[in-house]
Structure 1
């Protein structure tokens, strides 16, 4: 019997479904709802909730039974048996038809609709005294005749005081009835459910159980009920899957038992073959004398889906449970069939041996370890290494393999699995490598402050045996220091890295050590030493090939390029890091590479591209459980929106960061930078100065020094309005800009000096002219337009309106082409103040393009190629190319994708 408390716990995350049930039961007329989802998703709990909410309604409850699936109308009989005496109110013909069908004599095909009408009449008769609630669980498990009849009735309950709730695995069971698919629970809902089942577990245990359950309430309940007290407290390793004797396993076992034997064999093969090549399953089926058509009953039951890309399972836990409940002999046979389809090689041989009962465990462990290089998928490699660790008789070797499996899982974007594997380890010589992995996950996922100590300890432990890994640990510790805002500690990282350097080091080791040296010097303001070191890193990164060409090395090179303000190489190196990370399945570094690419695009003035990259970074970080990295990308998006004066978007991104960002951290600094820009735009200059000045404490090495350097042009602009002089921040920015060869940074420095120069003197005009000469013509158009606007405003205030207008016109035109309408309006206001009558800014492409250009732009947005456009418009492709270049220039876009987005 389901208790009220059990139902309440099982309904976590089902608020929308419960609301729909209450609305249905509160209505005076009738209706029906269908709840569908995989086993263990909470369908039965929702029907139990409805029966508890029924109030004064009469209740009929039924369920489909597999044992009665071959008995026509058996399910209908079980549902209606308590009220069959009410059939006296039915017309004689309906009563006879109903009695005959429920008595086992069946129903002729031509009278099936009449039978459904009889069932509807019977329910109406029962509901004559008081409203009625009918619930039918597992509709698709029982006999199909009952399911069809009840579906017909469910569609015809309007104007009757009858509510019907049905549950099934697949939505296609009942057409024409409002359906609710039961989604997996999210991490927060899983934690709440666990706290209701037992005492609240530690956060890492709750996160691991949520990942193991894949959001299945039944799996979560089975796991909670099967754990020992030590496992619940996180003192012992957790299982890899829900227990095979739990309710969820029983539900899957029952579903599989109802399928034909060939179908069961094909389903098991599909569950064991998560690869991207559909041909593997086809070849394995052919070797077993089976065909893909055997999967049809399983697809009809909602267990899986077939398509051009192969077989997919609607619920991510399905593969695990199908293999868990399979008999051992069937499992071995399926493994052998799949192994036989693989190309001959070390992995193929190891998998063949894995199916042999007499294969020694140490031999198999060695073969699997040797074969892991043949597995391009890091998630699959984690499985192979974990199995090798389980088979290894040597505890030390088993620990090494477990760490390698955890690293593959983390690299593939599954930190929960990686943490679960690391929890299996006991103290031993491999703890340094384990700490390197733990620190990496702390840095990117949840605890960058703790990551510093973890990674420094890992570097000390690893250094005697592996200098490369030790240098990598130091570089990651330095990154954690920068994320948390304790840059003064980077000197320790640089000192330790220098101690690990050796003459004649290979390029990747040289790159890591030189990067630490260059960043350390730059953070303490020693650009004479830091600049050459970082430029050397950029050169080394651009020359890497073969095994040395890793996403980690490319990320260091891209970060070095940004620190010495070579934005083009920084963008290329970060983009290359993204490509390599994706091609090699090394997804753990993808959010960091995307962050650097977005920052490079910001400096290049490609704000739309930077926003697109940052949005991609948020998605990648969240998919890989990297919450800190996701916050960093949200901060970048907030800054980009604020710079474009999009208040709503900026505040929305800041709200997404929420309270999770630690004060002084990089995400927090980005959020404060965005708020400072909004203060500046709204004329709250003192607030802007206070906010932007607090990003870092100059001279102490505390706070987000690098973020404040990026924000200094806005700080200086606010201070110029407010009458302040942020001398320290400007000195840091000016010193850095002058140490680079970047015209755009020097232009910004000149603009800052112009804003703080004495009003009306020659120094301000000289610096403004210098800034305009330095701004690159092909990039940085937004900042150049801001300089034109500020210079025009300065000239107007000095009563030189004629000189001001030229700059203000250029600023207004550039902002208009870039789509920065708020800034274009500001330029228009300054023009009007300078005595020129200007109309409103023309915002749309229709006003910026000629008729022919607009026609070409719309065809491009529809996906047409230049050749197709030329054919349709009777033009040459060269003419189309010419018009399209003008379109890109006038609209301020750089790709066909941006153009399509703008026109949409």
Structure 2
């Protein structure tokens, strides 16, 4: 099976089944599967006589050499051709060439020969790499391809680019997507598949190239395959893909190869993804200087552009459009050629202010230790935004360093930058090189930042300080623990992080504080929340009077979370509110994603949702702006949680999708699991069964029982059970999320899901199971200043009160009075629906209808179709004749227009619509005019009729 090439295979089968002749050009980068598709055509071309050849670079100077090999099996049929055609064809295939005036005769001779051979049955003619062979054959086959419709002949050609035969219908072979890449890797080797992070890293490295995936799978050691050894950074040098690139490059002129290598090494910035994937731009100024120094110019790149390796841009710039082309150009060049190119680029950057890039080129051209250059590299890093380049610089500085202690220091710092850049595999590889030999000093950090040493060599004598070894080992353990927490297993990360905190407590207290915060996250994530007490005890021991605000924030946060987990909300509330205040006061270098995320956690726990949103949003902004990709998924998770509580479900879904994308790209398997779990909950809240189940299924092994992703998945499934009236299943799922009194399970998730647990348990006739959970919820909600939490508590008490009782009505009315009018509209609509149902059951249908109408309108605006239907059923049961919207009208409007239309039809003014949907009044006016135009109406009255 050709994975990821199903569409191409279908097109080939259609060609082979067609009664008339057709031609197709399959083009793509080396390794994209062109030859495999021709082999597929050969296998499925039964009933057709096969004529097959390939363009050979060695025969490119021999006119019609490719044509001779293609037609050799049928040359005995030339006797049927006219004499003139027979003579011209014979001279061409015997090496005598063809005069210009005989080109048309030769083309007709080939067509005639194919027609004569097809008398015995239809033909399949294939020419692989036909642009690599002789040019006369390529021109002739292009001529033939345009004249096949009247012949039972299928012509399949492959080439590196569509420019090889513009007139022939073509199909570009795009990179494989992530699932197909993983499936190809897994199928390549027997036995169990490698861990998810290994598959993700290999898929990223191969950039969707099938041959690169095959070469990597075949070349990995067992340790690399199973994730216990560092992965390679390029496809193997002896693989088929490398050989294909060497062959392609060998056909280019010498000056083109030199210019192409300079361009590959001068490429700096990723550009907008091309059809083949993400490209890399080349700095035109630096490239131009280097080319002039080498005695050439940009024009030398023209043959490489014709081969599809690079695309020239104005003025004087270039882009590598193929994901692997830049890597393979560098990887297949000789050591001497790379050294010469790096020196030219270093000279071109001299005096430009690009200290880091210049130092990197000098380092790449240097052999053996060079302490002065290593110091220049470290000093050029500074406090970088491009953390990937910083990791490269410090890793090279470590190799050039003479004292092993200093080398270890720089290596650990490089690993930290690689992790922050979103490349955990590279970070692991850098740490692996210094495992067991860490003895170099740690660098300085921005206060409050995730430990990221800035390797400034201001105190070389520190290498002799015995505390330096402990500092460096502790920072390495902290980094390993963070990567395990985000990428692998939170339960395995916890002891590593605690060990890091112990190692750093006496030598780097600031980093020890961060290690303990991460250890607390690991305890909560894995469901071992009873271990949070140990984290809090250690944090209290490290706390000092006069700590800077960011350190005070982290220690206050841990104390508040510990009190919350103990159920001591009276003590937790003031601590958490103080952490929120401290987070809002952070400025300058102290305002870091780690500190802001901690303050956002405190805000969520104390139910100040707007403040939590602002803090998390700022953490997202800083993480993205500073290039700290490793912190971005967590910040997006917290922003999504605050958006959920603010009732902005669409915004929360968007944040989760972005968080999932970043987590997957950065290899953060466990962080991605949280985002998938949140997406499942958000879909289940809307009763979108297919989306919710899809997200739950995608969790896979991330949903470890007891973990946060598993709890979120169970919450989502319980919501679907609730919608389908499977109340016993919903109750059992939610009750099992945590075991009160043991400190095990996901207590915080269960508290969030308590309103749904109460609703399910009451319908299931097991109110006792709900009361215990509600007691926990009430103690928390009562300690907050959140009207929403108190509204949900009142709703739960209304459901537990006797049916039809004054207590139930009083609690429902209290809930509605507490529900914010401008936020959490979905929960307010759910309360209206439940209250309306209660009034209907109490035989008060007239009073019920108002609540049910408001619920239905809100659900309609939010696009919650299942809940709209439930409200409609209740309204009809209450004696209301409820129509359905005109499906024609619904189809004519976009989702946002439909929401605005329903709000207006419900009686909202344009200003009220703008407030509820976070739009400007002018935008609402614009949308309303478009709605009237699309529906062909003129008034709000007609809009009400159109929408039922």
TM-score by length of 2: 0.83
| CA distance in 2: counterparts of 1:454 and 1:593, whole angstroms | 23
Residue 405 (structure 1) aligns with: 414
SS state at 2:127 partner: strand
Q: CA deviation at 1:274?
A: 2.9
SS state at 1:503 partner: coil
Residue 803 (structure 2) aligns with: 759
Q: CA deviation at 1:433?
A: 2.6
Residue 576 (structure 2) aligns with: 534
Distance change in 2, residues 1:896/1:141 (3 Å): farther
| CA distance in 2: counterparts of 1:98 and 1:704, whole angstroms | 80
Moved over 6 A (4+): 197-202, 204-207, 224-236, 842-849, 853-858, 890-904
Q: Is it true that 1:795 corresponds to 2:855 in the alignment?
A: no
| CA distance in 2: counterparts of 1:887 and 1:107, whole angstroms | 77
Residue 448 (structure 2) aligns with: none
Residue 177 (structure 1) aligns with: 169
RMSD over equivalenced CA pairs, Å: 3.7
Q: Is it true that 1:284 corresponds to 2:287 in the alignment?
A: yes
| CA distance in 2: counterparts of 1:238 and 1:822, whole angstroms | 48
Q: CA deviation at 1:545?
A: 2.2
Choose 360-369 or 54-63, whichever is displaced more.
54-63
Contact 2:74/2:117 (8 A) holds in 1: yes
| CA distance in 1: counterparts of 2:741 and 2:223, whole angstroms | 49
| CA distance in 2: counterparts of 1:667 and 1:119, whole angstroms | 65
| CA distance in 2: counterparts of 1:185 and 1:796, whole angstroms | 53
Distance change in 2, residues 1:811/1:229 (3 Å): closer
Distance change in 2, residues 1:735/1:194 (3 Å): closer
Choose 766-775 or 180-189, whichever is displaced more.
180-189
Q: Is it true that 1:304 corresponds to 2:295 in the alignment?
A: no
Q: CA deviation at 1:217?
A: 4.7
After TM superposition, the structure 1 = structure 2 runs for residues 172-571 of structure 1, keeping only pairs within 5 Å, are 172-175=163-166, 176-181=168-173, 183-184=175-176, 186=178, 189=181, 193=185, 196=188, 203=195, 212-219=205-212, 239-276=232-269, 280-289=283-292, 290-307=296-313, 311-339=318-346, 340-341=348-349, 343-344=352-353, 346-347=355-356, 350-351=359-360, 353-354=362-363, 361-373=370-382, 375-429=384-438, 430-571=472-613
Q: Is it true that 1:822 corresponds to 2:866 in the alignment?
A: yes
Q: Is it true that 1:85 corresponds to 2:69 in the alignment?
A: no
Contact 1:33/1:179 (8 A) holds in 2: yes
| CA distance in 2: counterparts of 1:40 and 1:857, whole angstroms | 51
Match of 2:624 among 582, 586, 599: 582
Deviations 1:666-698 (A, max 9, x none): 222222212212222222222222222222222
Match of 2:779 among 731, 735, 740: 735
Deviations 1:341-378 (A, max 9, x none): 36336426634643776895222222212212265311
Deviations 1:260-291 (A, max 9, x none): 34432332222112323968323431453244
Residue 852 (structure 2) aligns with: 808
SS state at 2:85 partner: helix
| CA distance in 2: counterparts of 1:72 and 1:87, whole angstroms | 20
Contact 1:386/1:401 (8 A) holds in 2: yes
| CA distance in 2: counterparts of 1:254 and 1:194, whole angstroms | 29
Q: CA deviation at 1:744?
A: 0.9
SS state at 1:428 partner: coil
| CA distance in 1: counterparts of 2:695 and 2:740, whole angstroms | 28
| CA distance in 1: counterparts of 2:920 and 2:668, whole angstroms | 30
SS state at 2:131 partner: coil
Contact 2:175/2:207 (8 A) holds in 1: no
Q: CA deviation at 1:161?
A: 4.6
Choose 445-454 or 269-278, whichever is displaced more.
269-278
Contact 1:804/1:834 (8 A) holds in 2: yes
Contact 1:140/1:173 (8 A) holds in 2: yes
Distance change in 2, residues 1:195/1:326 (3 Å): same
Residue 651 (structure 1) aligns with: 693
Deviations 1:63-93 (A, max 9, x none): 2233333444332233223432322222334
After TM superposition, the structure 1 = structure 2 runs for residues 56-67 of structure 1, keeping only pairs within 5 Å, are 58-67=49-58
Residue 26 (structure 2) aligns with: 35
Distance change in 2, residues 1:657/1:262 (3 Å): same
Instruction: Give the unaligned 5+ runs of structure 2.
Output: 271-280, 439-471, 902-907, 935-948
Choose 698-707 or 208-217, whichever is displaced more.
208-217
Q: Is it true that 1:96 corresponds to 2:87 in the alignment?
A: yes
Q: CA deviation at 1:576?
A: 0.9
Residue 759 (structure 2) aligns with: 717
Q: CA deviation at 1:623?
A: 1.8
Match of 1:122 among 101, 110, 113: 113
After TM superposition, the structure 1 = structure 2 runs for residues 889-900 of structure 1, keeping only pairs within 5 Å, are none
Contact 2:787/2:819 (8 A) holds in 1: yes
Q: CA deviation at 1:563?
A: 0.8
SS state at 2:720 partner: helix
Distance change in 2, residues 1:90/1:829 (3 Å): same
Deviations 1:638-679 (A, max 9, x none): 222221222232223223224541122222222221221222
Q: CA deviation at 1:185?
A: 7.4
Choose 356-365 or 675-684, whichever is displaced more.
356-365
Q: How many residues align?
A: 869
| CA distance in 2: counterparts of 1:734 and 1:379, whole angstroms | 48
Contact 1:409/1:418 (8 A) holds in 2: yes
Deviations 1:367-400 (A, max 9, x none): 2122122653112222212212222233333233
Q: CA deviation at 1:155?
A: 4.7
| CA distance in 2: counterparts of 1:184 and 1:387, whole angstroms | 33
